[in-house]
């Protein structure tokens, strides 16, 4: 079993109730499971709740930091229609809710209409000059860098203690061990890179909400990613994230609002 | 009473239960109450639920089109902490849920940290050359154009049957009758302009989700707005919206995913 599947596996304990084990293999910089990993677990549970195959819109609100260990997921249908279905999931530990997710599903086989793009696709795979910035001395990123192959063409300044002063970046990611880029994986990847505000001197960033729009089913191979923060205002910043697959299609787009420390 | 206050007024009918009357004064292009108007009603109810004064993050998922007439709102607390509180609201008509909102509140008086902006503020008020595009022959916009003063410096192509082919626009909005720009009003304004995809030839756009980030308390006066859609993919498009107040501060930022017709 792929580690991402092993670590998002759910055991049903009742109608709309599951238990799971949050592992230490998908940790955030400040320690503890990444928000996007907790979200992936919830997407798994939601997929079991609705008849439509494709998550389209996923709105996650984070209340508490998850911890490694057992957790419960409860789900409920909100509406099942012919074209869309909407359901909710809550992730709990010790009977306290960590994360609430409302998601709408559809069937991407039924997409129709023109595609109009006003945003240039990034290069679909890393150029020769790209490198693994966390290959040696991974420090606090050891858990996740063991699992994700991350490539960039520019040095990661904050990682060597010299924030680069930039608010946007492009890079590539993929699981080290290949696995389909389904909605759970894409939502995870939207939150899997270190926040770009670290390049502005922040020392941490805590996700308050994360909205993910899945735009197409993703091909295998590299995921070309772009991240951008345009506004840091009084402790809060948004972070926009785009993921393009190896065929050059935009497959996920997310925005999060996060609380930062250190600026 | 300001019409926006009259039309978002709630009557408490029980613990965490309200009734309201959705008016015909804030209608969308295709008819029926605007999504942002329904959302404003829910924000009102959420404000009564939580101790923190300022909505910070509002995630709305739309399941059904609201109709003019009576509606119910039910709310529930999710978490009340020292710095943030999170609650949920549902809007129902005829016992069917139209809209679910999860929102996190904080206290903007306690904001601290630097402000770093990587996005240019638009002109805070309309220049001399700006005009009211819907001043005459408002057609389907009559309800809302009676309530909102909308100014632009560029012709609105779709309105005269000649879509301009553009995917972004800047303009100014305010209530015709002045009223504070609180979170409910800002969330409403994020959805109050005609979708920019109409300039790409779409004939309608139906909001599936709307995430609003409130970034500061807003000054009175004009609201400078920017809208942008970068990706229309197989019937779906995102729409990003920014609202800047008359002091030049970014006060709200939203993204919605919508289903379009006609392209």
B56-83 tens-digit pLDDT: 999 999 999 999 999 999 999 999 999 9
Which tens digit of pLDDT belongs to each residue from B39-49? 999 999 999 99
Q: How far is A249 from chain B (nearest CA, A)?
A: 10
Give the tens place of pLDDT for each residue, A61-74: 999 999 999 999 99
Closest Cβ opposite residue A200 in set B63, B116, B235: B116
Q: How far is B130 from chain A (nearest CA, A)?
A: 26
Q: For B60, name the nearest residue in chain A, comparing CA atoms only.
A: A59
Q: State yes or no: pLDDT of A121 exceeds 70.
A: yes
What mean pLDDT do residues A114-134 have? 94
Describe chain B by its helix, strand, coil percentages, rounded to 5: 15, 40, 40
Q: What is the pLDDT of residue A114?
A: 86
Among B57, B88, B250, the residue with its CB nearest the CB of A231 is: B250
Question: What is the overall mean pLDDT for chain A?
Answer: 95
User: Which residue, among A102, A105, A108, A166, would best test binding to B if mutated, counting the most B CBs under 10 Å from its CB?
Assistant: A102
Report the chain A residue with the minimal C-alpha distance to residue B109.
A234
Mean pLDDT for A249-253 is: 98
Backbone angles phi, psi at A199, to 5 degrees: -75, -10
Query: For B238-255, what is the mean pLDDT?
Result: 98
In the predicted model, is pLDDT for residue B33 greater than 70? yes
Question: Taking residues B206-215, what's their average pLDDT?
Answer: 98
- Residues of chain A with Cβ-Cβ distance to B88 below 8 Å are 100
Is the pLDDT at A137 greater than 70? The verdict is no
Q: Between A111, A238, A263, which is nearest B114 by CB?
A: A263
Name the residue with tokens 């699992």: A147
| Chain A neighbors of B255, CB-CB under 8 A | 211, 213, 255
Percent of chain B at pLDDT > 90 equals 88
Q: Please, which pLDDT band fits residue B138 given cuts at 50, 70 and 90?
A: low
Chain A nearest CA to B44, separation (Å): 19
The Cα A105–Cα B88 span in angstroms is 20
Q: How many CB atoms lie within 10 A of CB A82?
A: 8
Does A250 contact B236 at a Cβ distance shorter than 8 Å?
no
Tell me how many degrees the CA angle B97-B98-B103 measures, rounded to the nearest 5: 95
∠ Cα A260 A181 A149 (to 5°): 60
A112 by Cβ neighbours in 10 Å (0-12 / 13-18 / 19+) ranks as exposed
Contact B199, B163 (CB under 8 A): yes
Mean pLDDT of B156-171: 94
Q: What mean pLDDT comes out for the span A75-97?
A: 98
Q: Provide mean pLDDT across the span B154-177.
A: 95
pLDDT in tens, A148-187: 999 999 999 998 899 999 999 999 999 999 999 999 999 9
pLDDT value, residue A142: 63
pTM: 0.97
Return the residue in A50, A56, A59 with the most chain B beta carbons within 10 A, the one to mutate for interface testing.
A59
User: Pick from B209, B213, B263: which is nearest to A257 by CB?
Assistant: B213
pLDDT, tens digit (0-9, with 9 covering 90-100), for A198-233: 999 999 999 999 999 999 999 999 999 999 999 999
**Cα separation of B183 and B42, whole Å?**
11
For residue A118, which residues of chain B lie inside 8 Å, CB to CB?
167-168, 229-231
Task: Write the DSSP assignment of B74-123 as a string of letters.
Answer: EEEEEEE-SS-EEEEEEEEETTEEEEEEEEEEE-GGG--S--EE-SPPPP
């Amino acid at each position: 079993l792929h580690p991402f599947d092993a670590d998002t596996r759910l055991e049903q304990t009742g109608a709309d109730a599951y238990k799971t084990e949050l592992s230490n293999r998908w940790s955030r910089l400040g320690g503890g499971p990444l928000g996007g990993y907790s979200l992936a677990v919830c997407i798994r549970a939601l997929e079991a709740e609705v008849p439509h195959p494709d998550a389209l819109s996923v709105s996650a609100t984070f209340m508490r930091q998850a911890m490694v260990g057992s957790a419960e997921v409860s789900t409920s249908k909100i509406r099942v229609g012919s074209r869309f279905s909407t359901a909710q999931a809550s992730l709990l530990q010790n009977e306290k809710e960590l994360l609430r997710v409302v998601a709408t599903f559809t069937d991407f086989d039924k997409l129709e209409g023109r595609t109009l793009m006003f945003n240039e696709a990034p290069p679909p795979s890393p150029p020769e000059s790209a490198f693994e910035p966390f290959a040696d001395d991974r420090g606090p990123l050891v858990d996740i860098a063991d699992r994700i192959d991350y490539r960039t063409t520019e040095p990661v300044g904050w990682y060597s203690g010299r924030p680069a002063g930039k608010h946007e970046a492009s890079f590539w990611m993929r699981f080290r061990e290949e696995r389909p880029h389904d909605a759970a994986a894409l939502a995870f990847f939207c939150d899997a890179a270190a926040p770009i505000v670290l390049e502005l001197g922040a020392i941490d960033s805590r996700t308050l909400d994360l909205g993910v729009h899945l735009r197409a089913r993703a091909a295998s191979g590299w995921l070309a990613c772009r991240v951008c923060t345009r506004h840091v205002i009084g402790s809060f910043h948004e972070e926009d994230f785009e993921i393009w697959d190896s065929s050059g299609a935009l497959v996920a787009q997310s925005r999060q609002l996060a609380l930062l420390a250190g600026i």
